[in-house]
Structure 1
Amino acid sequence: MLGYLAARRAGLDDPLLFRRAESTRRVLCLQLNVDRDMDRIHGNGVNTLDIEVIEGKYMLSGGADGVIVLYDLENFSGKPQYTCKAVCTIGRSSKYVHRFSVETVQWYPYDTGMFVSSSFDKTMKVWDTETLKPAEVFEFEGNVYTHHLSPIAKKHSLIAGHRAEVLSVRWSPRYEHILASASADSKVKLWDVRQASGSLLTLDQHNGDKSKAASEAVNTAHNGRVNGLCFTSDGLYLLTSGTDDRMRLWNSATGENTLVNYGKVSNQSRKRRQLTVSQGCSPEFAFVPCGTSVAVYALHTGELVTTLRGHYNQVDCCEFHPHYQELYSAGKDGNILAWVPVPRAPDVEESSSEHAPGRSSVNPAFQDTWSDED
């Protein structure tokens, strides 16, 4: 790390290199923050979280009780121990509250004055943050499992679907007209919303090898329901998760299965599972709800880096905060937990053998990428 500081001071390296190295270091030492609590508002499980990208200050949560909560994540107390307060709540006493489980909440990417929620009450609502009243209500014939607003598009807001339930949809952060959708029919499709003829690609786990697909349906991404979907921050890759207990990483341009082996990733949820990918790190990491914990994987190697344990019941969603390299997770225990970087002090053995040949304290997730000797 000292090498990065010296190179940055001398103008030899792009400052972004140091920033990515520090972001990676912080992600690799995430621990449960015992000093930070969240106001417990939800009576049942928490299905979805979203942090606004403008200030990184406010977070939305949606619960199985139909309640939506807006949290302020900043610490105004000046003390190490504090509670993130619920600024406002759309609770059971509101006549505008969703009647059934809220499956997805999302801030409007360009203005915190608006956010969108979707629910099993077959509605999607566009909310005015100031008044906590819906400015628009869209009604559907079936349950709304998920929705997603493009983080970059300014000219459209369109959704595409499958024959079975669409469990997850995500807009590409690279191209405003590209949409990915995952379904209970085991398929993941990429769409160009400028075309009305159909999907661009249907992802095939076997990369077109029909001999390997003899026992499975043609052009399936998983051998079960696909309920998790997430683009990398640059939009070049797409990560999917299915009830076949597998995750797959795809080239979003070609639709090719990169064949990264993550091993068995427990996934028994019949609804959407909100996984996320780090931003600003090298390499990137995937944060995946896995039973009562959150599994952290090296995205491009499949290595299980660590497991974050703290929940008492199934974890359903996690949200990465790119400003501070923090992670928020929530699930059926109704708790929202904050995981923050806690740098580990080197022990005596590490300090004494720091310069010994053949020894390295660098995490294997990025051991070949850099070291302090750089």
Structure 2
Amino acid sequence: MDKYRVPNRANLLRAREYGLETSFIHIEQTRRLADFTLCKYRNLTSYHHSSISTMNLDQSESRYLLSGGSNGHICCHDMLPSSLVTTHPIVFQIDRNSNRDHHTHNICSLLWYPNDNGLFVTLGLDKKLKIWDTNQVKMVDEYEFSNFAYSAHMPSTANASVIAVAHENGDLRLIDIRSGSDSHVIHSHTKKGICLVKWFNNNPNLLASGGVDGRVLFTDVRSSRAHYMSLDRDNILTNNEQIKSRQTTVSSVAHHRGVKSLEFLPDNTHLLTVGADDLMYLWNVNNGQRLLVNYGPITTNNVRILTIACAQMKHDRTKSVVYVPCGKYVRVYDILTGQRLTTLSGHLMPVSTCIYNRLSVELYSCSDDILVWGAVKKQQEDYEISMKNPERRNEATKTLAQILNRDQWSDDEDED
């Protein structure tokens, strides 16, 4: 935790006064990453009456949060403003009462179109993938499969139009939503099935897929080969001469049981995987070697797919954390050392998804409800005290952005 502590604040404020505001914000945001607490006075307008299976936050504004339930219902909440005390309203909802094109089974994946929240994609266990117009909340296209599909993902790059869908029979199907083509099928995994699929952050032609058999494969969609790399848990990157790295083989597995999570780090050179063997591994994407980092056991329960959230500081890559659902809790780890920084407690049911909002530096997690986490412990304590003093209520309910960016010196000097 030492490297996440803030240096002398007087020096930081003095640097900001001389125009070095960026440094102040970077250091303050780094501190907040490992100092999250439950935002007790921020609620989402109630909607889901069943467990929430997945969520997704739009990339263009980091504002609209989609959530899908086990009964097929979908809801969108507006997460702004990020005030200390607020109730986030529902923007729209899709269910049997509001839309005849609703899903009838559990929602597996929710995807916002990259860089444009005018379109989003939903995938359900009713074997249907639907494309929606956000403004009209109207389905504009639909794809139906013969096999169950458990995961879908789109590249985060601009002008992306291809959706990768993972099927239970071991096939990866590529759907081009611009042309409507869904004929490109990659037979990469065994017939045991694919758990999930994820595109690389910086390359719209490369994707990673995790199978029920524990294999993690890297595929280049431009190539005729089913995959160009297979991750092997015994292929370890270390300076220890007694532990030698080895070449991957057909029988290479990343986990001894099914893969439950794939998440690329913002630096685009590392990948985190979580398996049903209750282990989390860190991999070098370029050479496929596993870094010798011990995170300890990760309880995955009966959750089919876990969505973990990574946060990495642009000014210092060594300061990176991951938020991992672990039973009813969310554990926060230092990615490069494996140190557990803290554990977030607040849910009553197992957590399935964590979403990090880089714009407001806060975290969203879901189980049977959705909770908001942020570095607001001191502000909440001040608010509770201010409730006894009405004259201080306006100051206590300022937005988090105002608290972070407000000036700490008087403007009287500028008038002289």
TM-score category, normalised to shorter length:
0.7 to 0.9
Deviation at 1:21, TM superposition (A): 2.1
Letter in 2 for 1:187: R
Q: Distance in 2 between matches of 1:270 and 1:187?
A: 18
Structure 1 position 31 matched with structure 2 position 37: yes
SS across alignment from 1:34: coil
> Does 2:253 match 1:220?
yes
* Structure-2 change in CA distance of 1:237 and 1:212 (3 Å): closer
| Higher relative contact order (CA closer than 8 Å, sequence separation 6+) | 1
- Amino acid across the alignment from 1:336: I
**SS of the residue 2:352 aligns to:** strand
Change (3 A) 1:153 1:223: farther
Aligned to 1:84: 88
Q: Would the alpha carbon gap of residues 158 and 38 (structure 1) be closer, same or farther in structure 2, given more than 3 Å must change?
A: closer
The counterpart of 1:99, out of the listed 81, 97, 104, is: 104
Q: Which residue of 2 aligns with 1:341?
A: 375
Deviations 1:326-348 (A, max 9, x none): 000001xx210000112559xxx
- 2:229 match: 201
CA 1:150–1:117: 2 relative to 1, 3 Å? same
Q: Percent identity?
A: 32
**Equivalent in 138, 150, 168 of residue 196 of structure 2:** 168
Q: Distance in 2 between matches of 1:169 and 1:4?
A: 43
Distance 2:305 2:378 in 1: 35
2:220, 2:227 within 8 Å by CA — same for their partners in 1? Answer: yes
Aligned-residue CA RMSD (Å): 2.5
Q: Does the CA-based 8 Å contact 1:232-1:238 persist in structure 2?
A: yes
Instruction: From 39, 50, 68, give the equivalent of 2:74.
Output: 68
| Cα displacement (A) at 1:270 | 5.0
In structure 2, the residue matched to 1:189 is 217
Any stretches of 5+ residues in structure 1 without a counterpart? 346-374
Alignment partners' CA distance in 1, 2:129 and 2:112: 13
Alpha-carbon distance, 1:4 to partner: 4.8
Deviates more, 1:268-277 or 1:62-71: 268-277
Please list the CA deviations of residues 55-112 of structure 1 after superposition, one character each: whole Å capped at 9, or x if unmatched: 1111101110101101011139xx7432111111001222111010001111101211
Q: Match for 1:335: what amino acid? A: D
Secondary structure of the residue aligned to 2:101 is coil
2:304 matched residue in structure 1? 271
Matched AA of 1:310: G
1:127 is the counterpart of 2:161: no
TM-score relative to the length of structure 1: 0.84
- Structure number with the higher helix fraction is 2
Q: What is the alpha-carbon distance in structure 1 between the residues aligned to residue 302 and residue 23 of structure 2?
A: 38
Q: Secondary structure at the match of 1:147?
A: strand
Is the Cα contact below 8 Å between 2:114 and 2:160 reproduced in 1?
Answer: no
Letter matched to residue 347 of structure 2: H
Match of 2:341 in 1: 305
Is the Cα–Cα contact under 8 Å of residues 48 and 105 in structure 1 kept in the other structure? yes
Partners of 2:356 and 2:262 lie apart in 1 by 15
Larger radius of gyration: 2
Specify every segment of 5 or more residues in structure 2 that has no aligned partner in the other structure, as ranges: 1-6, 165-171, 173-187, 237-241, 380-416
Deviation at 1:155, TM superposition (A): 5.2
Which residue number in structure 2 is paired with residue 293 of structure 1?
Answer: 329
Aligned residues: 337
Residue 323 (1) aligns with residue 359 (2): yes
User: Secondary structure of 1:295's partner?
Assistant: strand
Distance in structure 1 (CA, Å) of the matches to 2:250 and 2:337: 27
